[in-house]
Chain A
C-alpha cells in the first residue's frame, strides 16, 4: 500500500473524530424549573421615626439622605399622632389586608378580586379610572406582597426590599412630556432629544434592573447584559464626586420599566429572572 491512501484514511479518520466531537451535545440539566409561587410584586418598606427630633428614616436611607432628595417633612399634628404609637404595620398579602398596631391586629380586610372590583368601582365613580387604568391596577395588585412598617425608634430603618415583576409603564409624549403609569411627572425630554429619538426610529425600551444586572431591549432587540458592582460603583462615585450615598437598597432590589415613545404599543413582559 502506497502512502497516499494512508494519508487520506488518516484525514478521513480525523474528520470522523471531529465530526463526532462537534455533534456531541453538552450534558444539559433537563429538570423543569419548579413553578414559582412567589408574589409578582414585593414591596417591603420599613420606616423608623423619632418624635423627639421630628426625623424619620425610610428604607435604609437616613433622615439626612432623605432631606437631600427632597423628602417632605411632617407637620406637628402628624408628629403628635405618631408619638402615640409604637409601631403600625400594613400588610397586603394574598387575598387579605392586615393592619397591626403594637403587634396587635387592628383590622383585617378581604383583598380578593371581587373586593378590589368594589374598590375600583368606588374610585371610578370619583376620579374616573377608566378600563385601562383598572387593568393596570390589577396587574400591580394581583398576587402582590406589600408590607409597610412604621416603628418609633432612633435606629436606621431596614433596607428597602423591592422586587417588581410588573413593568413600570413610562410614556414619552410627542412633545417630550414624561408620564409614569399615566400620571404626568412634570419632567420633559428636551426637543433635541425627542428629535434624535424619532430620527433614530426608537419606539420603545425595556429596562430590567436585577440587583445590579441590567438587561435592556430597544425596539425589542436585546443589547448586551451589563453588570454594575456596588463596590465598583463607589469607584466612579469617588472619581466624579457624585455623592450617591449608600446604594445597598438599590442593589438589593429588582424592578423594570417599559418606555414608550409617542403612540407605540405598551411594552409587555416581565422582568423576573
Chain B
C-alpha cells in the first residue's frame, strides 16, 4: 500500500478511536478558554454588570443546547435550545426582519438565502450532536 494511503488510514483510525472514546464518555462538553472583555463606565452594559455589586457578568454558550448569562453571585437567564428550536427562532427572526423592511417600505427587503440557512443549521446540529464545546465571555466592569 502506498505511504499516503497508509497515513490516511491510520489518521482515520486514530480519529475514530478518539471519537469513540469521546462518545463512550457521553460526549462531554469541551471547555474552551474564557474570553475576557472589559466594559468601561458609560457603556450600556456597564449598568447591568455593576447592578448586583459583583462587577462581573459571564455569558456562556454551551453547544449542547444551553446559553446562560450569570453574574458572579447568581444566574440571570438561561436559554435551552435544540437545533429544531434554534432553526424556528432563525425562521421567526428572518420573517420579522423581512416584515419590518416591508412595513417600512424602504425598498431594501433582505433576501433569504437557503444555502446560508442550511449551513447555519448544519453547524448548529454538528456542534449539538457530534462534538460539544463551551465558550465563555467574561465581562468585567472597569471602575
A residues apposed to B, CB below 8 Å: 3-4, 7, 10-11, 14-15, 17-18, 21-22, 192, 195-197, 199-202, 218, 221-229, 231-236, 238-240
B102 with A11: CB separation less than 8 A: no
Report the bound CA distance from A181 to B74 in whole Å: 38
User: What 20 new A-B contacts, CB under 8 Å, besides A7-B10, A22-B23, A202-B95?
Assistant: A4-B1, A17-B20, A18-B16, A18-B20, A18-B23, A21-B24, A197-B99, A199-B98, A200-B92, A200-B98, A221-B88, A223-B92, A225-B81, A227-B75, A228-B77, A229-B76, A232-B74, A235-B71, A235-B76, A239-B47
Residue pairs across A and B with Cβ atoms less than 8 A apart, 8 shown, are A196-B99, A197-B99, A202-B95, A221-B91, A221-B92, A223-B92, A227-B80, A239-B47
A-facing mask of B84-113, CB < 8 A → 1, else 0? 111011011001101110110000000000
Residues of A within 8 A of B88 (CB): 218, 221-223
- A-side interface mostly: helix
Report the bound CA distance from A223 to B82 in whole Å: 9
Could you tell me the distance in whole angstroms from the C-beta of B85 to the nearest C-beta in chain A? 5
Closest to A230 in B: B74
B residues apposed to A, CB below 8 Å: 1, 6, 9-10, 12-13, 16-17, 19-20, 23-24, 47-48, 50-52, 69-71, 73-82, 84-86, 88-89, 91-92, 95-96, 98-100, 102-103
Report the bound CA distance from A242 to B76 in whole Å: 16
Report the bound CA distance from A234 to B71 in whole Å: 11
Report the bound CA distance from A127 to B76 in whole Å: 47
B80 with A232: CB separation less than 8 A: no
Residues of B within 8 A of A235 (CB): 48, 51-52, 71, 74, 76
Closest to A2 in B: B1
Known: A235-B51, A239-B51. A15 touches B16 (CB 8 A): yes
B23 with A225: CB separation less than 8 A: no
Report the bound CA distance from A236 to B84 in whole Å: 29
CB < 8 Å: which of B24, B79, B95, B98 contacts A224? B79
Could you tell me the distance in whole angstroms from the C-beta of A185 to the nearest C-beta in chain B? 24
